[in-house]
C-alpha cells in the first residue's frame, strides 16, 4: 500500500528519468528503450477503510454500567431529601443529557408532589440485564437494548457525546406498552456487526424519522385530522387521542378551555436504525404546550388555580395556565403499511 507521499516521490523520479532520456535522443519513437521507471503507472489509491461504530460492545456495556451506578446514587440521594436536590441533579447530569435529562430534572423538581410510594419506588436501585449493543457504522452514538431486572421492562437506551463533555444517556424509551414487547424486527448489521444508521430525512414507506413528531403531536392538537392521519392505532396514539377528546370534559370547562400546540423539543437530534426487513426504528424527540385559558366572559371575574404540579413552577392564580411538555417517542416506519408509534414518554418541565 503506497501513501500519497510515496506516490509523489515515485512520480518525481519518473519525471526526472524521462527528462534525462529525452535530452540525449531524437524525437522518434523511442519509448521501447526507456527505463522501466518511466513506463510504470501509479498505483490506484487504497480503498478507504470501512466505517466503524463509535465504541466496541465491551466499551458500550461499561458505559451502561457506569450510567446505572451513578443514576442509582443520584436517585437515592434525591430519595433521602424532602425537596428537589440540586446535588442529585448535578450528579445525574454527569451521565445523562438531552431530552432524558430534561425529563429526569422535571421528576426531581416535582419531588414534593409525589406520593410516599412513588418516592420509595423511585429511590429503589435498578439494573439493566441482557444488554444488546447496536453501534451504527460511521456515527458518534450507539444504542443498547435492555431489560430491567426487577420489572422485566424492555427498552432502548441511546448514548451520545453531549457538547464535548463525554458520553451521556440521552434517551430511554420502552419497546412497547407491555413487558413482553420486543423489536419489530432484528436490527440490520454488516459482516463486522455494526448497525446501519438511517438519516433523519430519509423516508421509509410513508414517513421519514423527522416527520414522526409532527404526526404524533397532531393527535393532541387536532385529534388526528391532519398529519396524524398517517399513523396506525397503537396504545400511544390512543392515549393522545383520548387526551384530545377529553380536553374539555372537566368541572371547569364552563369557564375555561384546554388546547394543545406543538412546540420545539429542547433537544432535537433523532436517532434511527435500519431493521433487517428494510423498515426503520427511530427515537424521536417531541414536545407540546398545553393551554388552559379562561373564556373571554370570565376573564374579569375569575382566575385559574394551578394544580400542585403546576404550582411548583408558578403558584400564582392566573387567567391562563400554559404547561410545557417535553418527551420522546419510539417509532417503527415500515416499508409498507402505516407507521407505528410504539411508545411515548412526556414530562411537564414548566408551567406559566
Residue 158 within a domain: yes
Residue 193 domain-assigned (yes or no): yes
What percentage of the chain has pLDDT greater than the value 70? Answer: 86
At residue 9, the pLDDT reads 32
Q: What's the pLDDT at 22?
A: 31
50 lies in some domain: no
How far apart, in whole angstroms, are the C-alpha atoms of residue 286 and residue 271?
13
Mean pLDDT of 106-129: 93
pLDDT of residue 125: 94
114/13 same-domain check: no
| pLDDT per position as a tens digit, 67-100 | 999 999 999 999 888 889 999 999 999 999 999 9
Instruction: Please tell me whether residues 206 and 321 are part of one structural domain.
Output: yes
**What is the structure's pLDDT at 164?**
80
pLDDT score of 43: 66
Examine the domain organization and report whether 147 and 224 are in the same domain.
Answer: yes
The predicted-structure confidence for 214-273, as pLDDT tens digits, reads as follows 999 999 999 999 999 999 999 999 999 999 999 998 767 889 999 999 999 999 999 999
**Residue (of 195, 151, 194, 145) closest to 172 by Cα position:** 145
Q: pLDDT by residue (tens digit) across 23-43?
A: 333 333 333 344 444 455 566
Q: For the segment 182-193, what is each residue's pLDDT rounded down to a tens digit? A: 999 999 999 999
Per-residue pLDDT band for 46 (boundaries 50, 70, 90) equals low
Confidence of residue 162 (pLDDT cuts 50, 70, 90): confident
- Are residues 247 and 301 located together in one domain of the fold? yes
Shared domain for 135 and 177, answered yes or no, is: yes
Residues 84 and 17 in one domain: no
Predicted TM-score (pTM) of this structure = 0.85
Q: What is the pLDDT of residue 41?
A: 57
Residues 132, 29 share a domain: no
Q: Does some domain include residue 48?
A: no
22 and 116 fall within a common domain = no
Q: Is residue 49 part of a domain?
A: no
The predicted model gives 90-112 an average pLDDT of: 96
Q: What is the mean pLDDT of the chain?
A: 88
Question: Has residue 195 been placed in a domain?
Answer: yes
Looking at the structure, tell me whether residues 106 and 210 fall in a common domain.
yes
Whether residue 95 is found in the same domain as residue 217:
yes
Considering the domain boundaries, does residue 61 fall inside one? yes
Residues 223 and 334 in one domain: yes
| Between residues 333 and 52, the one the model is more confident about | 333
Same-domain pairing of 26 and 125: no
pLDDT for the residue 15: 35
**What tens digit of pLDDT does each residue of 305-335 get?**
999 999 999 999 999 999 999 999 999 999 9
- In whole angstroms, what is the distance from residue 210 CA to residue 270 CA? 7
Structural domain boundaries, residue 281:
57-351
pLDDT of res. 263: 98
Q: How many domains does the chain have?
A: 2
pLDDT(276) > 60: yes
Is 217 contained in some domain? yes
Amino acid at each position: 500500500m503506497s501513501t500519497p507521499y510515496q506516490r509523489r516521490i515515485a512520480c518525481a523520479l519518473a519525471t526526472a528519468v524521462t527528462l534525462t532520456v529525452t535530452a540525449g535522443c531524437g524525437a522518434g519513437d523511442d519509448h521501447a528503450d526507456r527505463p522501466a521507471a518511466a513506463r510504470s503507472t501509479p498505483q490506484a489509491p487504497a480503498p478507504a477503510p470501512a466505517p466503524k461504530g463509535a465504541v466496541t460492545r465491551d466499551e458500550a456495556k461499561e458505559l451502561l454500567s457506569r450510567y446505572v451506578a451513578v443514576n442509582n446514587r443520584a436517585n437515592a440521594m434525591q430519595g433521602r431529601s424532602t425537596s428537589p436536590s440540586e446535588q442529585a441533579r448535578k450528579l445525574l447530569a454527569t451521565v445523562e443529557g438531552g431530552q432524558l435529562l430534561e425529563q429526569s430534572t422535571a421528576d426531581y423538581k416535582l419531588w414534593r408532589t409525589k406520593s410516599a410510594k412513588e418516592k420509595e419506588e423511585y429511590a429503589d436501585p435498578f439494573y439493566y440485564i441482557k444488554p444488546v449493543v447496536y453501534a451504527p457504522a460511521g456515527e458518534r452514538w450507539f444504542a443498547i437494548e435492555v431489560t430491567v431486572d426487577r420489572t422485566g421492562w424492555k427498552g432502548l437506551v441511546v448514548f451520545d457525546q453531549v457538547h464535548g463533555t463525554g458520553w451521556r444517556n440521552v434517551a430511554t424509551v420502552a419497546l412497547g406498552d407491555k413487558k413482553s414487547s420486543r423489536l419489530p424486527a432484528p436490527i440490520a448489521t454488516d459482516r463486522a456487526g455494526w448497525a446501519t444508521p438511517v438519516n433523519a430525512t430519509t423516508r421509509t414507506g410513508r414517513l421519514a424519522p423527522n416527520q414522526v413528531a409532527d404526526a404524533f403531536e397532531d393527535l393532541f392538537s387536532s385529534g388526528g385530522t391532519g398529519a396524524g392521519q398517517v399513523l396506525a392505532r397503537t396504545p400511544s396514539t390512543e392515549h393522545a387521542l383520548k387526551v384530545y377528546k377529553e380536553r374539555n370534559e372537566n368541572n371547569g370547562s364552563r369557564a375555561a378551555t384546554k388546547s394543545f400546540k406543538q412546540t420545539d423539543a429542547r433537544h432535537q437530534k433523532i436517532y434511527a436504525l435500519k431493521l433487517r426487513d428494510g423498515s426503520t426504528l427511530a427515537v424521536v424527540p417531541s414536545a407540546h404546550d398545553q393551554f388552559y385559558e379562561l373564556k373571554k366572559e370570565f376573564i374579569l371575574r375569575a382566575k385559574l388555580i394551578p394544580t400542585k404540579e403546576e404550582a411548583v413552577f408558578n403558584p400564582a392564580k392566573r387567567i391562563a395556565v400554559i404547561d410545557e411538555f417535553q418527551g420522546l417517542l419510539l417509532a417503527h416506519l415500515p416499508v409498507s403499511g402505516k407507521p407505528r408509534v410504539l411508545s411515548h414518554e412526556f414530562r411537564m418541565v414548566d408551567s406559566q
